[in-house]
A and B are shown apart, each in its own frame.
Chain A
């Protein structure tokens, strides 16, 4: 893989330093965050070489934020202190993996998207004898179960297989259980209705304590598996790929890799769904995938 451009080379402080003819010679008045960026780089490189998890092409601004949180909870004062801890303690690595994945999700997040999926995409999926769907970066599974409900209501669940993947085994374990906090159900019910749902949403789950356990039949055709968009390749051909609000944590290099992977993993006329503020604009796949629903960020592979 081609080495990523080094972001700090374009950092205004570094630029100004080299313009002043003193490249690499830090001045005492330099703000400290540039050093921190170097430390982050070293930490991510170490994690990749020692453990094989590649976060080197995650968006720096969000990695920085996550690592600062982790510094607080790990009670270390510097990123270098964090690096020491993580490289020597596999349990600290587990906490890093959790810390670097943003597991804030919701059922029927962006109801207008799910309404469009229901009204425009489901009728087309119905025309296939068998449908393969990939939820990439599925986190704790809220959106996977939302899709399963749409498939069920479209009457095609039994001829679908949903592959739900995430790099993080901890969140996958949670997702497999199909259990979500009961206190969210009011908001999820509202989302479901806003997304065009007409059934009684509470029929889909059973209440156990403070958890809503979703109908096991909804999970029957879902395969939860580990897959890392930064490192792993294509594993099947899909009619629908959903990867919503996952690539926002990637830098453009990694985003391009993932989008290429999706393009290669779609059947002709297959659909790719992104988050509502994500776009193919300015990426290489702008030319290979067509807008199917511009507002809802649903794209379609029309060629090849």
Chain B
């Protein structure tokens, strides 16, 4: 599967990418992070790397059982930004981290969330694909999707949808993930904009949201990557 990893295809896709012209108002509207097995440890690092003045709404979809531990409370200890479970119709707020609640899928409407109790998708509710796809439909180029550690392949199809609609895709280097299957599946399905180690994800998100997108830090990172090529 990793043989299809896009270290080569990143270059190939460079010319095709829809790049929002500067000053077009196509700023980042939403950052969505998907994680499964091993996600909590990765999320600690990621949310800890977002500065207190970070001004883009962030959504986290972490697979969890139906009852759900108090994930937002546990993560809050590591974050300078407020973290809470997303409620139905709650507004997406700049600088707030919203968690998909256990037992629901999280959909993204314009400037608010909507929940659904539809059946689990690939055994997951919340499903990462569902939220990725919905955000892509609603915000198009304004979305950054991030796939972290996990078993299974949730997130891959959603990340493809984000790319198709002109948004950007980041993937944790499977070699640095507690479970490599999920990020590897994402790499197999999508020409990602960036793949790299966990510690560099938050700084990259911050740079992209600040409008440094034209600098394409992705390329530099991608070439340094340790994704096995065979």
Contacts and interface: CB of A to CB of B under 8 A. Distances in A.
Contacts of A255: 89
Given A20-B24, A104-B117, A277-B101, A248 B88 contact: yes
Contact of B110 (A10, A102, A279, A282): A10
Interface in B21-38: 24-26, 29
Among A36, A64, A247, the one with the most B-chain Cβ atoms within 10 Å of its Cβ is A64
B24 A61 contact: no
A33 B107 contact: no
Interface string A232-251: 00000000000001011101
Nearest to A60: B109
Interface in A121-144: none
Nearest to A247: B88
Contacts of A202: none
Contact of B114 (A16, A61, A279, A281): A61
A61 B88 contact: no
Contacts of A59: 107, 109, 114
B184 interface: no
Contacts of B88: 247-248, 275, 277-279
State the majority secondary structure of interface residues on A: helix
Given A16-B26, A19-B25, A62-B107, A33 B89 contact: no
Contacts of B18: 29
Interface stretch (B134-142, B196-204, B205-213): B134-142
A12 B25 contact: yes
A65 B105 CA distance: 12
A24 interface: no
B85 A62 contact: no
Interface string A272-299: 0001011101100000000000000000
A65 B158 CA distance: 13
Contacts of B26: 12, 16
Interface string A142-174: 000000000000000000000000000000000
A52 interface: no
Interface of B: 18, 24-26, 29, 85-91, 101, 104, 107-112, 114-119, 130, 133-134, 136-142, 164-166
Interface of A: 7, 10-13, 15-16, 19-20, 29, 31, 33, 36, 59-62, 64-65, 102, 104, 245, 247-249, 251-252, 255, 275, 277-279, 281-282
Which 8 A/B pairs are nearest by Cβ-Cβ distance? A61-B107, A59-B114, A31-B165, A248-B88, A248-B115, A61-B134, A278-B88, A33-B137
